[in-house]
Amino acid sequence: MKKYRQAFPKSAFIIYGVLNVVSLAAIVFSSLKLAGTGELVSYFPVLDVTTIAVFVAFMVLTALLLFRAYYAFTEKTLVLCRGLFRTVLDRDLLAKFVYDEATAVGALYYADPHSSDVARYVVLHLRKRDLEPFVEDLRRLKSDVVVEINLVPPKAEV
């Protein structure tokens, strides 16, 4: 099974990093209050335990979102995984893949398995270096899928 990691902008890593540092600080502060170190005293231990649990869960979820976001091809399906959410698309449902090179965002159109006249789509964030192998694997999965790549127009020289 060939996997392609979901592309995130660098700003997402910075934002999640800052949020995780703040979360870690809240966990340490609440832990120190529970331990009663120095002048820090926990007047409401349930609130501090809840704070620790919520921030630990937040840190785990952001780590899952960043590091368990991928697209994978199996023999008969395309698997889209984003954190805790996983979507499996059968190859017979796939219809069209449109990729915009300027934004590095693609849309994969597929037929709704519950309705014959409805088309749905899912947004794919791919790195430019992964585009060509992804399209090859997509065509290997389903040879008659329509692929459109919107290229960035060259800048006109003045």
Q: Considering only CA atoms, which of 64, 97, 67, 71 is closest in space to residue 2?
A: 71
Q: Give the pair of three-digit tokens for residue 114.
A: 């519950």
Full-model pTM:
0.77
Classify 156 as helix, strand or coil. Answer: coil
Q: For all residues of the chain together, what is the average pLDDT? A: 90
Is residue 130 domain-shared with residue 141, that is, in the same domain?
A: yes
Is residue 146 domain-shared with residue 84, that is, in the same domain?
A: yes
Q: Give the pair of three-digit tokens for residue 91.
A: 């190859």
Q: What kind and span of H or E run contains 93?
A: none
Query: What is the domain extent for residue 82?
Result: 69-150
pLDDT tens, residue by residue, 97-112? 999 988 889 999 999 8
157 domain residue, yes or no: no
Q: Give the pair of three-digit tokens for residue 84.
A: 């805790």
